[in-house]
Structure 1
Amino acid sequence: MFHFIVNPSSRSGKGKTLWNLIERQLKEHHINYKVHFTKYEYHAIKLVQEICQEKGEKTIVALGGDGTVSEVVNGITDFDNVKFGYIPTGSSNDFARGLGLPTRFKKALDCILFSNKTKEIDVGTLDFGNDETQKFGVSCRIGFDGAVCAEAYSSPIKNFLNRIHMGFLNYTVIAFKNIFTYKVAKLTVTYDDTDTRVYDQCVMLSALNGPCEGGGLRLAPHANPFDQYLDVFVLNTNNKIKILTFFPLAYLGIHRALDYFDEVDIVRCKKLHIHSDVPLPVHRDGESCKYRTEMTVSLQQMKLKVCVPN
């Protein structure tokens, strides 16, 4: 059984229109399916939890952006019996970009319906203590990146850029606006319980499961969602000119190659613990996790089976 989780408001409300085209294909090929429309924030989590209570194998397909993917991943309670398909309709689509999945809906749908191939990818977890945990597929971020994502999620700029098919620039435009106002913070990070590093002018920290976030920012170009490691990116500087220069180079994935960016630290690990003296904005896959001072990031044991092209 194919279960489609559809975010009708994705791509500035065109998600519903795209679903109508997809449904026509499903009926044409006599596919057994159910559609579930999200009606409010985090609704997909509840829908997927209910689907997972059904016995037997099932394929859950997300039609939306990275936020919809994140909600679906957080709703899965039975990773053994779930295959995950993705039809990207968001402005960033970093999940699809990082895995090399089709981004055109017809090719993405064909991959889900007719490919018999899946790949098992790592799933990240955020532990805030007091039994509060969340999952992520692309990345989690603290600091400047989290603040930008919080604004980018609801910004009218996002809707405008989506209308002119340039939604991928949403993050960059808002990041540029915030560069000159964001205040750096001190972070103490312990990697794999053994390596403690202090970043006294931390702009942002991202723990990545894949190479891209923020609409194509290649913060950790060699990050691999299949290798059971997280790639952690840290930018530690209060030099506004360097921060301003950093973003275009990050889109090209060459920021680490320049001596100019000694302030960039990239660490591969299985777990990291983060402490901040002041509350900082945290995001996972573009979804807000509020302001936090303490959290542990790791990978869960269960992997996500993703439909990929043959």
Structure 2
Amino acid sequence: MGGIWQLIKAKPSKGYILLDRTRKVEFNHMYFVSAHIHPSEGGGFYFAPEADPGDGKLEICVASHSSKLRLIPMLIRSRLPRFVKRKGVRVYECREARIHMDRPAPIHTDGEICRFQSDLEIQCIEKKIRVIV
């Protein structure tokens, strides 16, 4: 429910992501950005179902759409572990990303909220942390 409430309060922002310092992708109505090394976050939301914690890559999920009402069903469907195409949502793969938004917006990294940010740089350093599951 927290994600839906956060989406209701969010205002769209123009912005861009720079992937691996080479590919720039611009957006006109970004609502949120999340970066992942794991397929799910925040109690089972699958924003990056293809993410692999061992491949040294990030999955960057961008929710960008002109209507919040169309993004709410996306949040509900993201509870499914299989990949379902979601209108208004794009997922990009990279080793590092620079995120810029014209106004501060919620940025999530593997389920952890990094507060509201307008600029963020993130990278995945392969095999730096060992996790025993």
Tell whether the 8 Å contact from 2:56 to 2:127 is kept in structure 1 after alignment.
no
Matched residue type, 1:231: E
CA 1:208 to 1:262, structure 2 compared with 1: closer, same or farther past 3 Å? same
Structure 1 residues not aligned, in runs of 5+: 1-172
Q: Distance in 1 between matches of 2:52 and 2:21?
A: 22
Matched residue type, 1:299: C
Q: Which 4+ residue blocks in structure 1 deviate beyond 6 angstroms?
A: none
Q: Distance in 1 between matches of 2:131 and 2:102?
A: 38
Q: Deviations over 1:240-263 (max 9, x none)?
A: 221121112110145643xxx332
Aligned counterpart for 1:194 among listed residues 5, 8, 22:
22
The Cα shift of 1:290 comes to 3.9
Question: What is the SS of the residue equivalent to 1:221?
Answer: coil
CA 1:288 to 1:306, structure 2 compared with 1: closer, same or farther past 3 Å? closer
Q: Distance in 1 between matches of 2:77 and 2:113?
A: 26
Higher relative contact order (CA 8 A, sep 6+): 2
Q: Distance in 2 between matches of 1:202 and 1:183?
A: 8
Matches within 5 A, 1:245-256: 245-254=73-82, 256=84
Q: Distance in 2 between matches of 1:269 and 1:292?
A: 20
Indicate the structure with greater strand content.
2
Matches within 5 A, 1:53-72: none
Q: Does 1:306 align with 2:109?
A: no
Q: Does 1:180 align with 2:5?
A: no
The Cα shift of 1:193 comes to 1.1
Q: Deviations over 1:131-165 (max 9, x none)?
A: xxxxxxxxxxxxxxxxxxxxxxxxxxxxxxxxxxx
Aligned Cα RMSD in Å?
Answer: 2.1
Aligned counterpart for 1:234 among listed residues 62, 73, 77:
62
Query: Based on CA coordinates, which of the two structures has the bigger radius of gyration?
Result: 1
Matches within 5 A, 1:1-310: 173-254=1-82, 256-257=84-85, 261-284=86-109, 287-300=112-125, 303-308=128-133
Tell whether the 8 Å contact from 2:7 to 2:31 is kept in structure 1 after alignment.
no
Indicate the structure with greater helix content.
1
Aligned residues: 133
TM-score, normalised to structure 2, is 0.85
CA 1:205 to 1:245, structure 2 compared with 1: closer, same or farther past 3 Å? same
Tell whether the 8 Å contact from 1:219 to 1:250 is kept in structure 2 after alignment.
yes
Question: What is the SS of the residue equivalent to 1:218?
Answer: coil
The Cα shift of 1:267 comes to 0.8
The Cα shift of 1:175 comes to 2.5
Match of 1:33 in 2: none
Q: Distance in 2 between matches of 1:212 and 1:182?
A: 22
Structure 2 residues not aligned, in runs of 5+: none
Tell whether the 8 Å contact from 1:229 to 1:269 is kept in structure 2 after alignment.
yes
Identity %: 26
TM-score, normalised to structure 1, is 0.39
